[in-house]
Structure 1
Amino acid sequence: MPLLENDVIFAYLNEHDPNHAVAERIFQKLQNGEIRVEISSVSLIEMELIYQSEKIEHMLLKHLAAVAALPNVEYIALTPDIAVASVYLRQTSNLTFFDSHYAATALNLDRKIISFDKAYDGVPGLIRIRPETL
């Protein structure tokens, strides 16, 4: 199963996001059982940090509940191997902190990540699935 990156989740949760319609189609396919994905547990931490920094924590519980209720999703825990790989990726691929964790997680799984972010295209061994193709 591919890893679903937070940019797709955020696009789904924000109806003003330019990628909202594409993300909505993916979430509908999850609801219908047409696709299955994995989500890194690190994505939940990123959500909390972003909502806190953007002063929109009042929306966090509702959005976390919506993500937690998704069918056909498996959450992947952060392991020491993934943490080590994410540090390596930050040093060699110029990825951000969270992007390096998602890339490391995907590489530890089936090497596929669903994301709008082209930064993943430069990660050796990682296959980025463009959300609009699903």
Structure 2
Amino acid sequence: AGAVAFLGARLVSGAGYLLDAIGFDEKLDDTAWVITGEGRFDGQTRHGKVVAEVAARAHTRGVKVVVLCGALHADVSDMTALGIRAAFSIVQGPCTLSEALARTREGLYRTAWSVARLIQADSSTGNSSK
């Protein structure tokens, strides 16, 4: 707050700033699907987390969005409001946090493979275009 008052700085969304810096919007022009993720996808996601900003920008351009996450605690209404087509937890079955973290690579690979197969099936039916 001091920098805003004394240096003329302005507060901006960190997620928005980063996406602008990498030219995210332009990258969406020829994109049919975006796969994004975070550790815990829940009701707080829509309040400034990167996933919400990615989903909003993709959704306004007709790009389908899938979320991969460690913990999935979002309601369907949260996902719909963000323009997200689907969300998947990469954790397979009940386990402790340390077990889930130890299995991250395996779970991410398995889940991403399944999502890729769905996208491939979608494109074979002609549905993958914007």
Indicate whether the TM-score tops 0.5. no
Q: TM-score, normalised by structure 1?
A: 0.33
Task: Point out which structure has higher relative CO (alpha carbons under 8 A, 6+ apart).
Answer: 1
Q: TM-score, normalised by structure 2?
A: 0.34
Q: Which has the higher strand share?
A: 2
Q: Which has the higher helix share?
A: 1
